[in-house]
Amino acid sequence: MSDPLLSVEGLRTRIPTEEGVVRAVDGVSFEIDRGETVALVGESGSGKTVTCETITRLVPETATVTGEVRFDGETLTDLEENALRRIRGNRIAHVFQNPRSALDPVYSVGDQIAEAITLHRDVQEREARERTVALLGRVGIPNPGERVDDHPHEFSGGQCQRVAIAIAIACEPALLLADEPTTSVDVTVQARLLALLSELTEGGMSTLLVTHDLRVVATLADRVVVMFEGQTVERGPTEAVFGRPAHPYTQALVESAAGVGEGADRGEVPTDGCRFRHECPHAIDACAGERPAFEPVGSPGHAAACVHYAPERDPSVVLAESEPAWTVSRER
């Protein structure tokens, strides 16, 4: 079996603030295979976006990053800023949450897409423009030859997100980091953007999808990584994690699938042991000890970090439902 395209191991991101140091990412590990879509899910503030930004070091300069990120044979966490700049927007591209703020209002969308091409490819202006028009057509902008010289304010929110996706895929990246790519658009536009992202992944691109919307995950993702308070607590194939969520936090997340957008006001969260223990209905004394290790929970590749799955567990405690909690129907 070939190495994964992306491997994140023990990633930690500490960000100093006026209120103290925030442990935004606190020991996150996962992999993405070539051509695979992996979704990072969890409430707002769970560390999904900072994890995504840490991969290509788009975090504040004051942040401290430890752990390892490997991408296509290179250790990104060892690279200098200049070397990372050659990778960002080229082999790894980002799509951000708010497309209007990601686009420059002063320049035409065509100029912004062409700049993404010429920054990393040795092409003449004319060829860059031809590619730009083709990209606008590929992401579904009607009359791309005419719209190429329009400015962002002349596009709808959904079209701006399509332009942002065109910029991201301009250099045919191996990995797309898509942070809430459908959050700021209405339901109809969301469906079209999901179809577009699905089509792009079928072309062989890998995607890390960051979202709090489990229905988007069910549509697009091959595998899911669940985050709680900066830590990963469950991972596995989408059907397994949503059908039989194993970690008590994932179970709560799936049960309230329609309303997980905002992070709960949960007061002080423990910094040691299992961070979910103040809210967990299954907490026992052991949950305050070592941080629980990931243990297999059934289907191949499905694992959860909870003491009740440890080898020495009490067999009378059963956390996972025998009936599927959620049926995932994928339209890919």
Binding site for ligand SF4 (CB under 6 A): 247-248, 274, 276-277, 280, 282-283, 287, 292, 306-308
**Are 176 and 169 spatial neighbours (Cβ–Cβ below 8 Å)?**
yes
Give the nearer residue to ligand SF4 in terms of CB position, either 212 or 275: 275
- Could you tell me the smallest distance in angstroms from the CB atom of residue 309 to ligand SF4? 8
Query: Nearest approach, Cβ of 46 to ligand SF4 (angstroms)?
Result: 15
Pseudo-torsion of CA 202, 206, 208, 212, nearest 10°? 10
Measure the CA–CA gap between 89 and 112, rounded to whole angstroms.
Answer: 12
Q: Rounded to the nearest whole angstrom, what is the least distance from the CB of residue 224 to ligand SF4 in the complex?
A: 17
162 or 308, CB closer to ligand SF4?
308
DSSP code for 106 = T
With respect to ligand SF4, which residue has the nearer C-beta, 200 or 241?
241
The β-bridge partners of 210 are 40, 179
* Identity of the residue numbered 227: M
Min dist CB 36 to ligand SF4, Å, is 27
Closest distance between ligand SF4 and the C-beta of residue 209, in Å? 24
Name the residue type at position 53. E
Of residues 48 and 247, the one with the C-beta less far from ligand SF4: 247
Shortest reach from residue 287's CB to ligand SF4, in Å: 3
Q: How far is CA 78 from the centre of its chain?
A: 22
| Token digits of residue 299 | 């289907």
CB of 270 to ligand SF4, least distance (A): 9
Shorter beta-carbon distance to ligand SF4: residue 12 or 282: 282
Measured CA to CA in angstroms, residue 113 lies from 105, 163, 200, 213, 304 at distances of 13, 8, 17, 28, 41
The helix, strand and coil proportions of the chain, stated in percent and rounded to the nearest 5, come to 35, 20, 45
Rounded-to-integer distance, Cα 148 and Cα 256, Å: 42
- Least distance between ligand SF4 and beta carbon 92 (Å): 33
CB nearer to ligand SF4: pick between 174 and 274: 274
User: Measured at the alpha carbon of residue 294, what is the angle toward residues 292 and 297, in degrees to the nearest 5?
Assistant: 120
Determine the Cα–Cα distance for residues 162 and 154; give it in Å rounded to an integer: 13
CB within 8 Å of 16: residues ≥ 6 apart: 22, 62, 63
CB of 45 to ligand SF4, least distance (A): 19
CB closer to ligand SF4 out of 128 and 274 = 274
Query: Is residue 105 helix, strand or coil?
Result: coil
**Where do we find the tokens 């890998």?**
206
Nearer to ligand SF4 (CB atom), residue 196 or residue 284: 284
Structure tokens given for 81: 């800023």
Q: Are 50 and 13 in contact (CB under 8 A)?
A: yes
Query: For ligand SF4, which is the closer residue by CB, 63 or 274?
Result: 274
